[in-house]
Structures are given as structure tokens and as C-alpha cells.
Amino acid sequence: MGCFFIPLTWANTQPDINADKNLQQIREQIEQIRNKISRNQKKESKLETGLRTLALSLARSTQVLRDIERRVYQQQRQLDELQQTRGRQSQRLDELNADLAKVIKAAYGLGRQGRLRLLLSSEDPAVLARNQIYFNYVADSQAALIKEIEQGMEALYSTESHIVAGKESLQELKRNKLAKRNDLQQQRARRQQLLQVLRKDLGQQENILERLLANERQLQALVDELQSLSLEEMELREQGSFRDMKGQLSRPLRGELLQHFGRQRQGSGLAAKGVVIQADAGSAVHAIFNGRVVFADWLRGFGMLIIIDHGSEFMSLYGQNQSLYKEVGEWVMSGEEIAGVGDGGVSAQQGLYFELREKGRPVNPQGWWVTD
């Protein structure tokens, strides 16, 4: 998922399409930012570069696995529906065959009496007419039932063919799923080896402080650049602006706070500019409010990071993910799933790293969440 940035615009019913007029100008600004980040990334150590490469590969593989699992689920549902259809078709054929047996029995009885004798057995025209109608009814019923049975058998055969094809497709998907899981396990094993070396390298106090400061400067520079790209500011739709939602927002996920805003970060003496919410790897991360994705990529110190611009000069940042489910430019709704939590990376804290920014500066998100 490539690094990319765009401005936030809102309209009464949908994103303002007039913003596309400035697309060339925006692209030029974006390219400048990307060049800056590229130059910064070159300063990374070989360990960090390897970690970044693995993180991006893991994110892509996780997304592929997620897509395969969704397709497996959909294929299984289709198979279930086909098997239910087959059951209904088989039951209908049984009913038709039973009806046909009755008609054949009636026709056999008429045949024994002889159609001509039955028609001439009465001189009453009304009786003759009724006998003729009965003969025609039996013959027509038999023909109609035979035709419907033939059609039913063709439909059942078609359903059976679809079931066979569906089962083959499902088995192929499951094989792909298993292969991708094995690939992910190997990638995670390589990543763990790399993390152990990197954690050892970061073990010294001065290295921790220096690295944290560098990471914070890089994130601040990124947010400042994104803030400057908010070319147009418009009020949100009927839901109201982000500023009006203070104390009413839901957390991005449920979990214990492992790191509190403003408190000293372990082993560094630096005040935390965000919070860490404990969560298992793969846990769903949700957008705290409507907005537009303006960043979705790996960033040193924050892992797979996604940033949403909510308007009113507010942004929310979600870091330490193993995979991102949204791309830059996508509009998201409050509560929508946007990422899956990672395994903590270099950090010893297992969970989601979350920041809330106003005018580019970090603010305590706990005052914005609904009180439990």
C-alpha cells in the first residue's frame, strides 16, 4: 500500500468533486512530501529497512489472506444455497412423479374400458361432453407432468454441476488459504528474529531516547505536511463537526490503556503524545468518526500507520497495525473497520497506538471518548 496524501473536503451529500480541479497542484505537493519521506527513510539502519520491508509484505499478505477468507465464506454460502435448492428440486420431482403415477393409473383405467366404448356408452350429449373433457384432461395432465419433470431434472442436473464446480473452487480457495497462512508464519518468524536484534540494538538508554525523539520528529513533520494540504475546510454533513463530538466518540477498540497520554514513556523520560490500547494481534480497529484517509503506510516507530482527517483541523492516528484495510483517499464512516492490530513490533506493549491531533498538535483523546 503506497504512501500518498490528499486534502480533506466535505460536501452536503458527497465529497466536493470540485476539488479535482486542483488535482495537479495537489499531486505536485504530494510528490514533494514523498521525496522528503524517501530521503528520511534512507537514513534508516539496515535493520529498520528490513523491518519496514517485512512489515509491508506482512500487511499485503494479511490483506490477501483476509480476501481469501471472505471468498471462502461467500463460496460456502453459495454452496449451502445450492444444496438447499437441490433439496427443493428433488422434493418437487418426487411430488411430480407421484402425480404422474396417479395420472398414468387413471389413463390405464380408461384404456381398459376403451375410449370409444366409453364415449358411446351414453346417448346423453352432456355425458358425452364430460367424458371427452375427462379424456383430454388426463392426456393433457400426463403431457404437462412429463414436461415439468423433464425441466425439473434438467434444473437438478444444472444445480448438481454448479455444486461440483463450487466444491472444487472452495477446495482451491482453502489450499490458497493454507499456503498463505504458511507464508505469513514464515514472514512473522523472520520478523521476530529481526525484532530481537533491533530491540537489543535499542536497549541502551541513549539509543532509546534518541530513537524516540527521531520518531516523534518524523511523525510531527508528517502531520504538519498533511495539515498544510487541507486546502478547503467545509462543515460536516448532518452529523455535525468533529469539534461538537467531544465526550461522545467511541474508542477505536475496547481494551485496557497500557500507556496514558502525557505520562512518561517507559525508559525514555518523554511524555507520551498518544495512548496504547491493549488488544490481541488481528483485533479490529475502527474509525472514531467520519473522515478521509490521508495516510496509509509504514512509518518508523509507528509501524503500519493510518491517519484520518476529520475536518475542523482534527486528525486521528492509528499505529502498530499488522494490516490496513483502507487506502488513501477513501472516505470512512464512524465505527467502520479500518485496520487490524499488530503484535507490538519494537514496542513491548501489545496493542494499538492511538493519537488525536488538533491543528497538528497532540491532545488527550480520553476527554473525547464516551465515559464507560
- Residue 32 has a pLDDT of 61
The residue that leads in pLDDT, 229 or 281, is 281
Grid cell in block for residue 202? 535499542
Percent of the chain's residues with pLDDT above 90: 14
The residue that leads in pLDDT, 232 or 168, is 168
6 has pLDDT over 50: no
Q: State mean pLDDT over 321-349.
A: 82
- Residue 356 has a pLDDT of 94
The residue that leads in pLDDT, 91 or 289, is 289
- Residue 353 has a pLDDT of 93
Strand partners of residue 352: 277
User: Contact, 236 vs 276, CB < 8 A?
Assistant: no
135 SS3 class: helix
The residue that leads in pLDDT, 117 or 181, is 181
Taking only the tens place, the pLDDT of each residue in 179-215 is: 877 777 777 777 777 766 666 655 544 455 666 677 7
Phi–psi pair at 253, nearest 5 degrees: -165, 165
CA angle 322, 65, 349 (to 5 degrees): 20
Q: How confident is the model at residue 35 (pLDDT cuts 50, 70, 90)?
A: low
For residue 247, the Cα-to-chain-centroid distance in whole angstroms is 28
Burial classification of residue 201, based on how many CB atoms lie within 10 Å of its CB (0-12 exposed, 13-18 middle, 19 or more buried) = middle
How far is Cα 268 from Cα 209, in angstroms, rounded to an integer? 5
Residues 6+ apart with CB under 8 A from 8: 230, 232, 233, 291, 292, 294, 309, 310, 311
245 has pLDDT over 70: yes
Please tell me the pTM assigned to this model. 0.59
Grid cell in block for residue 83? 444444496
Strand partners of residue 356: 316, 363
The residue that leads in pLDDT, 264 or 339, is 339
Burial classification of residue 3, based on how many CB atoms lie within 10 Å of its CB (0-12 exposed, 13-18 middle, 19 or more buried) = middle
Q: How confident is the model at residue 117 (pLDDT cuts 50, 70, 90)?
A: low
Q: State mean pLDDT over 212-237.
A: 63
Q: State mean pLDDT over 126-135.
A: 55
- Residue 239 has a pLDDT of 47
123 has pLDDT over 60: no
The residue that leads in pLDDT, 294 or 54, is 294
Which of 225, 212, 214 is closest to 41 using CA atoms? 214
Average pLDDT, the chain: 73
- Residue 228 has a pLDDT of 65
Q: State mean pLDDT over 271-294.
A: 90
Spell out the domains of the chain, with CATH numbers in brackets: 20-201 (1.10.287), 235-372 (2.70.70.10)
Q: State mean pLDDT over 47-71.
A: 76
Pairing of strands 303-311, 291-299: antiparallel
How far is Cα 139 from Cα 133, in angstroms, rounded to an integer? 10
Highest mean pLDDT: which of 38-47, 128-137, 140-149, 305-314?
305-314
Residue for grid cell 538508554: 205
Other Cβ atoms less than 10 A from the Cβ of 149: the count is 16
Rg (Cα) of the chain, in Å, rounded? 34
Taking only the tens place, the pLDDT of each residue in 10-19 is: 444 344 444 4
Which of 226, 325, 324, 220 is closest to 273 using CA atoms? 220
319 has pLDDT over 70: yes
